[in-house]
């Protein structure tokens, strides 16, 4: 029985191996609250899709337990888990109309005709396809087909909907539009969503929390803001957004701050995150947190840099520098700023605050 404060989904000590030796998923523990939108994010082969397939029932954990709504899912087949599923390839029945596709999961559950009609109309209204019920999938655009797939996952009112790279086949503009559509539908219905993607921007846009996967394990589980602003290791810092990475050695730690010796730059002040004196570290610094030509004495980190390349991107200019021993140091400038002194070959100064630079542990 599920108590009010209990998570809807619990993954407990989950492991998965296909060959008995290599763990595709390692000791996965994850609680998901009812109504939450949680994204499993990571590169190919990181274990995120396998984790989703185990939750759906299409894969069986080698070890561990999955609990949904207070009920253990051991030996419960996929069709009895009452979970909605949305795939990248839509998985619609091509010979059926939109309404017939939506009716299928309802007929399997033996609902009456009037109930089926009401639920289909409601689902089509949610995805704004009320006038398309008599069309077949082949008569619809990719975006419309994905809306039908979403409606079919929602039509039987499941407590949990799983989405596996559902927008991967769409073009950029339509994909961004559908991200907001799904986010708004989630907010309207309050359904719990577990979403898998390798697209960091998609995860940041849609999620309440994001689990960043690497090599079968969660590296960090946090809100989008916390992941971007406060990555806990070098992998997360590199994978979420763009950052400048500088390798060095921690020479001193004082309170939350530390000093790091960087070859080609000297001493850099940063926040100390899971590092020790004498240990190697990787500094992470977001390009938008770097100040061009700061006022003298206004920042603890000020360095000389040479401009290598300017790339105009509409809303900002991406400036590649030779700085701090790195020839791919990037800063971002507002396109409206005066760029007359910013040209390839120019020598400038750059600076940043201690709290904007994180000294992170490196993998050994």
Task: Count other Cβ atoms within 10 Å, centred on residue 205.
Answer: 15
- By CB atoms closer than 10 A (0-12, 13-18, 19+), residue 202 is buried
**Cβ–Cβ < 8 Å for 51, 14:** yes
Out of 66-70, 87-91, 340-344, the most confident range is 66-70
Q: How confident is the model over 232-260, as a mean pLDDT?
A: 94
Name the pTM for this structure: 0.91
Question: Is the pLDDT reported for residue 364 higher than 80?
Answer: no
Query: Is beta strand 71-72 parallel, antiparallel or unpaired with respect to 63-68?
Result: antiparallel
Question: Is the pLDDT reported for residue 295 higher than 80?
Answer: yes
Sheet with 209-214, edge to edge strand ranges: 83-87, 160-164, 192-197, 37-41, 209-214, 217-222
Range 9-229: architecture per CATH: 3-Layer(aba) Sandwich (3.40)
**Which residues have a Cβ under 8 Å from the Cβ of 19 and sit 6 or more positions away?**
none
Task: Count other Cβ atoms within 10 Å, centred on residue 364.
Answer: 5
pLDDT score, position 276: 93
Q: How confident is the model over 257-275, as a mean pLDDT?
A: 92
Q: Nearest 10 degrees: CA dihedral of 93, 94, 99, 101?
A: 0
Which residues in the chain are classed under CATH 2.40.50.100?
A: 242-361
Nearest in space to 208 (alpha carbons), one of 7, 3, 5, 1: 7
pLDDT score, position 53: 96
Q: How confident is the model over 159-188, as a mean pLDDT?
A: 90
What is d(CA 192, CA 182) in angstroms, rounded to the nearest whole number? Answer: 12
How would residue 340 be classed by pLDDT, with cut points 50, 70 and 90?
low
Predicted confidence (pLDDT) per residue in 194-209, tens digit: 999 999 999 999 999 9
Query: Is beta strand 244-254 parallel, antiparallel or unpaired with respect to 257-262?
Result: antiparallel
**Cβ–Cβ < 8 Å for 307, 344:** yes
What is d(CA 292, CA 77) in angstroms, rounded to the nearest whole number? Answer: 59
Find the distance separating the first CA and the last CA of the chain, reported in whole Å.
45
Percent of the chain predicted with pLDDT > 70? 97
- Going from the C-alpha of 120 to that of each of 102, 144, 152, 157, 364, the distances in angstroms are 6, 16, 9, 11, 54
Predicted confidence (pLDDT) per residue in 320-339, tens digit: 999 998 989 999 988 666 56
**Domain 242-361 class, CATH top level:** mainly beta
Which residues in the chain are classed under CATH 3.40.50.300?
A: 9-229
Query: Which H/E stretch holds residue 272?
Result: strand 266-273
């Amino acid at each position: 029985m599920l108590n009010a404060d209990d998570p809807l989904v619990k993954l407990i000590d989950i492991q998965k191996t296909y060959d008995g030796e290599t763990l595709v998923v390692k000791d996965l523990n994850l609680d998901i609250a009812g109504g939450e939108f949680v994204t499993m994010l990571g590169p190919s082969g990181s274990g995120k899709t396998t984790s989703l397939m185990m939750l759906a029932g299409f894969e069986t954990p080698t070890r561990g337990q999955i609990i949904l709504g207070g009920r253990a899912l051991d030996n419960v087949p996929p069709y009895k888990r009452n979970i909605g599923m949305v795939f990248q390839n839509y998985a619609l029945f091509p010979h059926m109309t939109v309404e017939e596709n939506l009716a299928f999961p309802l007929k399997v559950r033996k609902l009456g005709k009037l109930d089926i009609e009401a639920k289909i109309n409601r689902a089509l209204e949610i995805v704004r396809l009320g006038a398309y019920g008599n069309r077949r999938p082949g008569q619809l655009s990719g975006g419309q087909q994905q809306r039908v797939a979403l409606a079919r996952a929602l039509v039987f009112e499941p407590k949990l909907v799983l989405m596996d790279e559902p927008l991967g086949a769409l073009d950029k503009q339509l994909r961004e539009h559908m991200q907001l559509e799904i986010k708004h539908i989630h907010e309207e219905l309050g359904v719990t969503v577990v979403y898998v993607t390798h697209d960091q921007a998609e995860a940041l846009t849609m999620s309440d929390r994001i689990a960043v996967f690497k090599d079968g394990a969660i590296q960090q589980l946090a809100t989008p803001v916390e992941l971007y602003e406060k990555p806990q290791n070098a992998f997360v810092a590199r994978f979420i957004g763009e950052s400048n990475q500088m390798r060095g050695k921690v020479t001193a730690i004082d309170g939350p701050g530390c000093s790091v010796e960087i070859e080609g730059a000297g001493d850099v002040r940063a926040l100390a995150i899971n590092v020790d004196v004498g240990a190697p570290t990787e500094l992470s610094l977001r390009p938008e947190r770097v100040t061009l030509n700061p006022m003298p004495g206004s920042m603890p980190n000020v360095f000389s840099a040479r401009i290598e390349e300017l790339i105009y991107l509409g809303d900002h200019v991406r400036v590649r520098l030779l700085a701090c021993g790195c020839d791919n140091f990037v800063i971002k400038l507002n396109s409206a700023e005066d760029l007359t002194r910013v040209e390839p070959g120019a020598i400038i100064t750059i600076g940043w605050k201690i709290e904007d630079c994180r000294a992170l542990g490196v993998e050994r």
